[in-house]
Amino acid sequence: MSARWGVSSWLRLALFFSWLALPAGLHAATISGTVKDPSGAVIPGARVEITGGDLLQPVELTSDPLGQFA
């Protein structure tokens, strides 16, 4: 091995490859539901915004003609 590959070079290389493995440990989830008014009638075309948790940015959805979103 060349003397140009010092400990810091190997450390950077190891960190790079460990970073590539991060997405393998991530979890996925789904959320769905029905938008209804207080009387129980569905609301088609309602804007649904999902925030919080580990989301990097809010997720925006629109309910379908049956008031459902997924």
Domains of the chain by residue range:
27-70
- pLDDT tens digits, one per residue of 5-62: 666 777 777 777 666 665 655 667 788 999 999 999 999 999 999 988 777 889 999 9
- In eight-state DSSP terms, residue 42 is B
- pLDDT tens digits, one per residue of 27-43: 677 889 999 999 999 99
**Predicted local confidence at residue 23, as pLDDT:** 60
- Per-residue HEC secondary structure of the chain comes to CCCCCCHHHHHHHHHHHHHHCHHHHCCCCCCCEECECCCCCECCCCEEEECCCCCCCCEEEECCCCCEEC
**Predicted local confidence at residue 52, as pLDDT:** 85
